[in-house]
Structure 1
Amino acid sequence: MASNAPNTTVACPQCRQPVAVHLEQLVDAGADPGAKQRLLKGQLNLLSCPLCGQTSMLGTPLVYHDPAKELLLTFVPMELNMRLQDKENLLGSLTRQVVSRTPADQRKGYLLRPQEMLSLQNLINRILEADGITPEILDSQRAKLQLLQDLLKADASALPALIQQRDAEIDVPFVQILGALLQRATGNGAAEQDTAVRLAALSEQVAQHSTIGRSASRQTQVLEEVAEELQALGTNLTRDTLLQLVCSNPDELRTRAVVTLVRQLVDYEFFVGLTTQIDKATGEQRKQLEAARQVLLDAVARSDAAAKAQGTAAAQLLQALLQAPDETAAVREALPEISDLTLAILNQNIEAAQKAGQQDAIARLTQLRATIMAELDASTPPALRFINDLMQSDTPEAAAEMLRNRSAELTEELLQSMVELAQDLEARGHADMSAKLKEYHGLAQRELSLAKWR
């Protein structure tokens, strides 16, 4: 949670208009993850002048606490010129609040040794370092952002050549940053429509003219091809048929795609079968199968490690949300981090509480789930919300009735979204859901045509 100093009035640095502000001086990342994010994004203690529109971050003493990382940091801006006694009294009061809020059995030595930061940037760097983000990583990200700016500023006719010229700098982290910015701009709708268009155009050019872009396109193509082959097997998809598929063409990209799509079948018994095939093979075929086995082992290890890390992160997020003083605000702030895995772990905890008969835990966890679902629904684009509602229909008859009742919401853009979503579901191996959506798309198309004549 964030501890607030009393309301105070500060003169706007631009127009000198007195502005009432509410300062946050204690940021506890364990109790309120949103406060940590506000601090890192430069959104903590902002002064917004209603007269001139000036927005600036106010300098104020801060105490930062992260129990998971065993961090207790303090910072007092030098420009405040606080007397040593006043500084010690204020920081001492804030750190005592941290200690008093920490259960006795969880108090550790770091709480007695707060680290003093000389600048706000040092404070932020220390927080990021504890999260595994080193100064070198930050420098690399700044370089990627500068590259992104350079590419966005380039003339369209010169862009392909510039991408090829700076090909060595365009790597996976750069593509991830570009994708994240495009997703955020797209999600903000009309407010960032121009930005989204420019980023989408750049993304397309990077995919066509960079080495990493062409490689990613090839990986996507292979993934779709393997997904189609697995889908064609249908109920005949077993360890044996999967083994045949791998052995018939042990290409590295195809082998990695297998782990991505059907990790659950690549188990001990699968590797026993693969080793048997290797023992039978000779010459070049044996070398290819041995290489494929190593690729599979590496891919499985990375997949399992990623799944474990994601599970740990999801569990920590749920714990933070349960401890947040304002559950709705905390959930809204954490929405980008809430995934299907987060909800699956939450449901597992609810089931465990039910089996144990822990009524208080059941009520608390169920309330959190309801809050998350409500916030997810509120943040879902109208088109996707409509499609989700439509997919809840168990039969074509029920879907047709819903479409008639909500025909006013049907548009060509909505129908196009249904087509794109069906294609995406099919590419990811969800053939049944894709077929259902395609059928309902046909019903929606018919209803839209009829609605024009009513």
Structure 2
Amino acid sequence: MTVIAEPSAGNLAEFGIILQINLMKGAFMAQTTTPCPRCHQQMIADVQQVFDLFQDPAAKERLLSGQVNVAVCPSCGYQSAVGVPVVYHDPEKELFLTYFPSELGLPINEQERILGPMITQVVNRLPPEKKKGYLLRPQSMLTYDTLIEKILEADGITKEMIKDQEKKIALLRRLLTSPEDRIAEIIKQEESLIDQSFFALFSNVQNSAVQSRDEKVLAVLKPIQDALLNQTVYGREVKARAESTQKAIQDIQDLGEQLNRDSLLNLVLNAPDDSYLQTLTGLARNGMDYEFFSKLSARIQAAEGEDNKKYSEIREKLLNLTKKIDQAVAEQMQLRKKVFDEIMKEDDIEQSLLKYARAIDDSFLVIVKTELQNARKNGDFMRSGKIQKILDTVEKMTKPSPEVELLEDLLSKTDEAEVEAAFHENQALVNDEFKAMLGSLIQELSKTQEADPEIIARIRFIQKLTE
């Protein structure tokens, strides 16, 4: 079992000396070793002191998730939190925080001397127009918990909300460790805690078990999920929404090539509930254009009594839903435009794209292509050249390896003779990486009940050719 513990007093003195040396050198991403309290083997810790959201938007997520400043023993798996000075900066919320672990035992003047270079580094990275008064008054947090609470508070998460979440985590642990015959009783006693956030916690555990293919955990989760969905008010609502959502998806798929404005309108007017209607809108927003709403208005005018009222209410709901979708798309495009602008400021395009990797999606590429067209239209060849470099770099970074392309080509062929011929034509790509990829694919697909047996058979045929 993995255990996360506080740093022991025995190794803090040694660690503090190493840390001070690294900090004085300006090495704000340091690495240190410390003995494992359990098995006494050396643990290596990657230490990060500066969390500057201006330079690294993902820094907050790493800090809050506990992914940083943790030493892991390679021998027994023991984990120990590493107490290090921290500077946290969120320019959007004008939040500038510092934390210095009291267990390092350094006087205030030494703490300020160590924190000073980190604070200066954060301030110097900002362009002049972003340097504001809050930077002159970094707030000192007395404890690590206070630091985290302050960050969460800026996001609108209060101490009461944190305590409520802790209660839900405790309930989830209790359910996971209780005998199956006690689950219903526990849920009945604690139903007031079972809401959207509790289901989010449960889903995280479930998704983790699915990804790791942990059948034992999945077996424990199944009766808990059934009880939550069938025995709680919120659970029954979740179940009903899920069923409506699935029905909407299935109805769209069943229409196939017959999906048009008229058939979509029939689905909309016969929607059993709002979840069904919301799913249809999300799936077929592009089809809900001016002509679609004209047809809907015509149906309303032709209807009488209750049908007229029902169709009118559906139109209002659709107008609200499409408006929300359009607003969300617009906001997404604005965010991607900000990412594009930040990347354009950088000299190293590849490093900048890696920094904003999570934002590199279809919306981002739409922005890039639009900006490229505008630059060429305006005759700004310097700008268009840099934008073209962004596109070329994204293509290079997302392009599958030659081995993956070969496998995709082989799997697209249905005739074994064609597969064999293409295989022998590309012998140079049949390397250890290609063979390992085949073995891994077969292993993964064999564990998946939904896997297509024909695809598995094709991969096995290709694997035989490598022997």
DSSP-derived class of the 2:361 partner: helix
How far 1:233 moved relative to its partner? 3.5
| In 2, Cα distance between equivalents of 1:114 and 1:137 | 26
- Counterpart of 1:414 (choices 442, 445, 449) is 445
| In 2, Cα distance between equivalents of 1:410 and 1:373 | 19
1:398-409 alignment runs, 5 A limit: 401=419
1:275-304 CA-to-partner distances (Å, cap 9, x unmatched) read: 343333332222322332333234334434
Partner of 1:121: 145
Whether the 8 Å contact between 2:49 and 2:84 is mirrored in structure 1 is yes
DSSP-derived class of the 1:420 partner: coil
Code of the residue aligned with 1:227 in structure 2: it is: I
How far 1:415 moved relative to its partner? 6.4
| In 2, Cα distance between equivalents of 1:402 and 1:321 | 45
Q: Is 2:292 the partner of 1:262?
A: no
1:131-210 alignment runs, 5 A limit: 131-189=155-213, 194-210=216-232
| In 1, Cα distance between equivalents of 2:319 and 2:420 | 48
Q: Aligned pair count?
A: 416
Whether the 8 Å contact between 2:248 and 2:279 is mirrored in structure 1 is yes
Whether the 8 Å contact between 1:346 and 1:369 is mirrored in structure 2 is no
How far 1:97 moved relative to its partner? 1.1
| In 2, Cα distance between equivalents of 1:51 and 1:40 | 26
1:49-86 CA-to-partner distances (Å, cap 9, x unmatched) read: 67987542233322112233332211223344543333
Partner of 1:4: 27
| In 1, Cα distance between equivalents of 2:387 and 2:77 | 46
Aligned-residue sequence identity (percent) comes to: 29
| In 1, Cα distance between equivalents of 2:30 and 2:270 | 71
DSSP-derived class of the 2:93 partner: coil
1:301-316 alignment runs, 5 A limit: 301-311=323-333
Partner of 1:45: 69
Whether the 8 Å contact between 1:346 and 1:365 is mirrored in structure 2 is no
Code of the residue aligned with 2:385 in structure 1: it is: Q
How far 1:344 moved relative to its partner? 0.6
Partner of 2:388: 362
Unaligned stretches of 5+ in structure 2?
1-22, 376-380, 424-434
Distance 1:283 1:57, change over 3 A: same
What is the RMSD computed on CA atoms of the aligned residues? 4.6
DSSP-derived class of the 2:284 partner: helix
Code of the residue aligned with 2:286 in structure 1: it is: Q
Partner of 1:347: 365
Whether the 8 Å contact between 1:160 and 1:205 is mirrored in structure 2 is yes
| In 2, Cα distance between equivalents of 1:363 and 1:153 | 54
| In 2, Cα distance between equivalents of 1:451 and 1:394 | 15
| In 2, Cα distance between equivalents of 1:313 and 1:287 | 39
| In 2, Cα distance between equivalents of 1:82 and 1:41 | 27
| In 1, Cα distance between equivalents of 2:443 and 2:84 | 53
| In 2, Cα distance between equivalents of 1:254 and 1:93 | 56
| In 2, Cα distance between equivalents of 1:59 and 1:450 | 52
Code of the residue aligned with 1:121 in structure 2: it is: D
1:44-83 alignment runs, 5 A limit: 44-48=68-72, 55-83=79-107
Code of the residue aligned with 2:293 in structure 1: it is: F
Whether the 8 Å contact between 1:247 and 1:289 is mirrored in structure 2 is yes
Partner of 1:99: 123
| In 1, Cα distance between equivalents of 2:140 and 2:445 | 54
| In 2, Cα distance between equivalents of 1:135 and 1:75 | 19
Code of the residue aligned with 1:347 in structure 2: it is: L
Unaligned stretches of 5+ in structure 1?
378-384, 422-437
Distance 1:228 1:84, change over 3 A: closer
1:231-251 CA-to-partner distances (Å, cap 9, x unmatched) read: 343344333332233234564
Partner of 2:7: none
DSSP-derived class of the 2:180 partner: coil
| In 2, Cα distance between equivalents of 1:320 and 1:68 | 15
1:283-336 CA-to-partner distances (Å, cap 9, x unmatched) read: 2222322332333234334434444555556666778899799978995x988x
Q: Which has the larger radius of gyration?
A: 2
| In 2, Cα distance between equivalents of 1:348 and 1:77 | 46
- Counterpart of 1:108 (choices 132, 137, 156) is 132
Q: Is 2:234 the partner of 1:240?
A: no
| In 1, Cα distance between equivalents of 2:247 and 2:76 | 58
Task: Report the TM-score when normalising by structure 1.
Answer: 0.72
1:369-398 CA-to-partner distances (Å, cap 9, x unmatched) read: 644667xx9xxxxxxx99x96599656449
| In 1, Cα distance between equivalents of 2:211 and 2:351 | 21
- Counterpart of 2:295 (choices 266, 270, 273) is 273
| In 1, Cα distance between equivalents of 2:223 and 2:173 | 14
| In 1, Cα distance between equivalents of 2:29 and 2:196 | 46
DSSP-derived class of the 1:160 partner: helix
Code of the residue aligned with 1:283 in structure 2: it is: G
Code of the residue aligned with 1:346 in structure 2: it is: F
Task: Report the TM-score when normalising by structure 2.
Answer: 0.70
Distance 1:342 1:67, change over 3 A: same
Whether the 8 Å contact between 1:219 and 1:253 is mirrored in structure 2 is yes
Code of the residue aligned with 2:114 in structure 1: it is: L
Whether the 8 Å contact between 2:337 and 2:367 is mirrored in structure 1 is no
| In 1, Cα distance between equivalents of 2:138 and 2:96 | 5
Distance 1:396 1:123, change over 3 A: same
Whether the 8 Å contact between 1:61 and 1:74 is mirrored in structure 2 is yes
1:228-269 CA-to-partner distances (Å, cap 9, x unmatched) read: 433343344333332233234564343223213212223444
How far 1:165 moved relative to its partner? 4.6
DSSP-derived class of the 2:80 partner: strand
Tell which has more relative contact order, 1 or 2 (C-alpha 8 A, sep 6+). Answer: 1
Distance 1:47 1:163, change over 3 A: closer
